[in-house]
């Protein structure tokens, strides 16, 4: 297990208020064979000075304008040298100090190519408002609106070479499209880590306005059509219903 190198990518842009907690949760991980990469979009606030306070814990820092979060993630993937690649959002934190150990343990099992886990949405005071419990995947679940929480998604680096990077043509659904492409379309073996891996701040670009939500649905539909979802319109109905259930789990 210690031989597995995990490349962890954090994308930042004007994240001065949250990046300290994010980085601190990485430093606290008890699994140490980690390559930590931060891709900054050219922040104009104090993000870079804050990041530089932790430079001894950061393997790669790149700060330059980009075409959005998924373009930045692609830059990080291209720079990564690890066996496995995952992400941690700049305003999120790991839910415990043993998250990456659990990821490494799952990848130590022969045949594991992707892992994912559970996630909590939290308020600034730390109270939980929504629980995303993924469950074990079986083929066809994407047709019924299922998807794993992307912040808990880890995969072997060679999969990006084999199946491609995040598509910039799918807007806010680029993470959903990639997971569809890897897990549903190409049937890559995905293993569930039954563990709350991340605490994610409530909110998000796709939910900021009605127009953004409509755009998000259109991007979802495009991703479904591209990656072999049987009945995309039905899946579009079930996908948000699963989110509603998470508020009561």
Assign residue 129 the CATH number of its domain.
3.90.550.10
Segment 7-30 shows an average pLDDT of 98
**Confidence at residue 208, expressed as pLDDT on a 0 to 100 scale:** 54
**Residue 186 is assigned to a structural domain of this protein:** yes
Token reading at 60: 């790669």
pLDDT at 228 over 60: yes
Q: What's this model's pTM, rounded to 2 decimal places?
A: 0.95
Helix (H, G, I), strand (E, B) or coil at 155: strand
pLDDT at 207 over 70: no
Residues 6+ apart with CB under 8 A from 179: 147, 148, 150, 153
For the chain, what is the domain count? Answer: 1
- Per-residue pLDDT band at 209 (split at 50, 70, 90): low
Q: Which residue bears the tokens 């929480």?
A: 149
**Confidence at residue 73, expressed as pLDDT on a 0 to 100 scale:** 98
**Residue 210 is assigned to a structural domain of this protein:** yes
**Confidence at residue 217, expressed as pLDDT on a 0 to 100 scale:** 93
Helix (H, G, I), strand (E, B) or coil at 10: strand
Domain extent, residue 166, equals 6-246
**Residue 97 is assigned to a structural domain of this protein:** yes
Segment 222-243 shows an average pLDDT of 95
Segment 162-166 shows an average pLDDT of 98
**Confidence at residue 211, expressed as pLDDT on a 0 to 100 scale:** 78
**Confidence at residue 206, expressed as pLDDT on a 0 to 100 scale:** 44
**Residue 157 is assigned to a structural domain of this protein:** yes
Helix (H, G, I), strand (E, B) or coil at 114: strand
**Residue 1 is assigned to a structural domain of this protein:** no
**Residue 31 is assigned to a structural domain of this protein:** yes
- Per-residue pLDDT band at 51 (split at 50, 70, 90): very high
Token reading at 177: 């499209």
**Confidence at residue 5, expressed as pLDDT on a 0 to 100 scale:** 98
**Confidence at residue 204, expressed as pLDDT on a 0 to 100 scale:** 52
pLDDT at 214 over 80: yes
**Confidence at residue 2, expressed as pLDDT on a 0 to 100 scale:** 52
- Per-residue pLDDT band at 107 (split at 50, 70, 90): very high
Helix (H, G, I), strand (E, B) or coil at 222: helix
**Residue 224 is assigned to a structural domain of this protein:** yes
């Amino acid at each position: 297990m210690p031989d597995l190198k995990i490349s962890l990518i954090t994308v930042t842009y004007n994240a001065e208020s949250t990046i300290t907690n994010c980085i601190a949760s990485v430093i606290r991980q008890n699994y140490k064979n980690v390559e930590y990469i931060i891709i900054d979009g050219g922040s104009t606030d104090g993000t870079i000075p804050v990041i530089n306070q932790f430079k001894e814990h950061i393997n790669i820092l790149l700060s330059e304008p980009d075409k959005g979060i998924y373009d930045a993630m692609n830059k990080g993937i291209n720079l990564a040298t690890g066996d496995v690649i995952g992400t941690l959002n700049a305003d999120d934190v790991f839910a415990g100090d043993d998250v990456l150990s659990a990821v490494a343990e799952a990848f130590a099992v022969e045949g594991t190519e992707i892992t994912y886990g559970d996630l909590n949405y939290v308020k600034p005071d730390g109270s939980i408002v929504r629980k995303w419990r993924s469950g074990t995947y079986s083929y066809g679940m994407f047709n019924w609106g299922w998807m794993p929480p992307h912040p808990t998604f880890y995969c072997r680096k060679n999969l990006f070479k084999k199946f491609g990077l995040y598509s910039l043509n799918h807007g806010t659904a680029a993470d959903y499209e990639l997971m569809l492409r890897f897990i549903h379309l190409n049937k890559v073996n995905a293993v569930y880590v039954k563990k709350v891996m991340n605490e994610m701040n409530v909110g998000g670009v796709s939910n900021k306005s009605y127009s953004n939500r409509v755009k998000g649905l259109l991007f979802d539909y495009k991703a479904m059509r591209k990656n072999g979802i049987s009945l995309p319109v039905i899946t579009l109905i079930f996908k948000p219903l699963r989110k509603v259930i998470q508020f009561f789990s």
